Amino acid sequence: MKKILVATDFSEYAEYAVSSAASIAKQTGAQLILLHVIDRPLNLDDESYENYHNMPGGKTVVMNIQSKLNAIVSTHKIENAEVFHELHNDVFKTILKHADQHQVDLIVIGAYGSSRSEGSFIGSNTERVMSQAKMPVLIIQEKFDEFSIESMVLASEFYGEIYKVFPKMKKVIDLFDSNLHLLKVNTPSRFQRTHDSLKLMKEFISEFDLKNCTSNIYNDITIEDGIINFTRSIHADLIAITPDGLWRLAHMFKRSITDKLMRNSVKAILSMRTQQPVLTPTEIFYEKEYRRYKGVD
C-alpha cells in the first residue's frame, strides 16, 4: 500500500477516521493524504480563494483550517503526509477527485460528519463516496488507538464482477492478518443450493489463495439481516462488501438499510463498488450466459 486518502471535517467521526488512517499508514509505510473540503458559500460566484478571502471572515476561516490540519499531522506524528484544503460545494466529488489524482490505494472516511442526523449512521457524502469510488473505501464507526481487525466477514455471491474488484480489496484485507469468513446469505426469494454455494466459495478461495478462511452459508429473511446476525454470532469487527454488484445491492446501500447494518454489527465496513449486471440463480446455473463468468460450469 502506497497512498491513503483520509477526508476530515473535524467532527468526532472524522477524527476516528484520521486516527485509523494514520495507524494504517504507520503500519504499512504508506503516504497519508489529508483532505478537508471547505463548503463554498452559496453567495460566492466561483471557487477562487481570492474571492473567499475577501468575504467577511473568509481569510480567518482558511487560516484556522490550515492550523487544524497541521495540528492533526503533529498529534498523530505523521511523518509522510500531504495536506490539502479545497473550496468546493460538492464534498464527495472533491474527495473522489483527489483520490483519482493521487492514485490512492484506499480512502478512509468517517461514518458521518458534522451534519449527522439523529439515528443515522451513514452520512450522505460517505454514502456517495462508498458507491462511486474506484478504490476500496474504509468506513469507520469507532475509535481505534491502533487500527487492528481480528475477524472480518466478506459477504458476496462469489461469482462474476467480484473477481475483478477483489484484488484491490485483498490488498487491504491482507494488511489486517485477520480471520476471514466468507458469507453467502440465502433468503426465501434468492435461494441457492448448499452444494453450489460451497463450490463457488471453494473456487474463490483457490483463485485468490486465501488463508485463515472459512466458508459460511446463512439463511435469513433479508440479506442485510443475514449479514448482521451472522456477524454478531462470530463477533466480527469488519464487514467487507461490494455494493451495486451481483446481489442487486443498490437497495441495500440506501442509508436507512446501511444504518441498520452498521448500527447493529461492526466497527467498520470495507466497500468496493462493482457495476456488473445481476443474474438470477436460475440463470447462473442453467443459462449459457453464465459460462462467461468464473465459477460453476
Q: What is the pLDDT of residue 289?
A: 40
Q: What is the pLDDT of residue 167?
A: 92
Average pLDDT, the chain: 78
Q: What is the pLDDT of residue 101?
A: 92
**In this model, does residue 236 exceed pLDDT 80?**
yes
What pairing do the DSSP bridges indicate for beta strands 31-39 and 213-219? Answer: unpaired
Q: How far apart are CA 72 and CA 19, in angstroms?
A: 9
In the chain the domains, ranked by start, together with CATH numbers, are 3-140 (3.40.50.620), 151-292 (3.40.50.620)
DSSP class of residue 47 equals -
Output Rg (C-alpha) for the chain, integer angstroms. 20
Q: What is the pLDDT of residue 36?
A: 87
Please, which pLDDT band fits residue 269 given cuts at 50, 70 and 90? confident
DSSP class of residue 119 equals T
CB 273 within 8 A of CB 132: yes
Q: How far apart are CA 110 and CA 121, in angstroms?
A: 10
**In this model, does residue 154 exceed pLDDT 90?**
yes
178-197 residue pLDDT tens: 899 999 999 888 888 999 99
Q: What is the pLDDT of residue 146?
A: 81
**In this model, does residue 25 exceed pLDDT 50?**
yes
Q: What is the pLDDT of residue 290?
A: 43
59-117 residue pLDDT tens: 777 788 888 888 888 888 888 778 777 666 678 888 999 999 999 999 999 886 555 44
HSE of 42, CA atoms in CB hemisphere, 13 A: 0
The reported pTM is 0.81
List CB contacts of 214: < 8 A, sequence separation 6 or more.
Answer: 179, 180, 181, 182
Mean pLDDT, residues 254-258? 51
**In this model, does residue 53 exceed pLDDT 90?**
no
**Overall residue count recorded for the chain in this entry:** 297
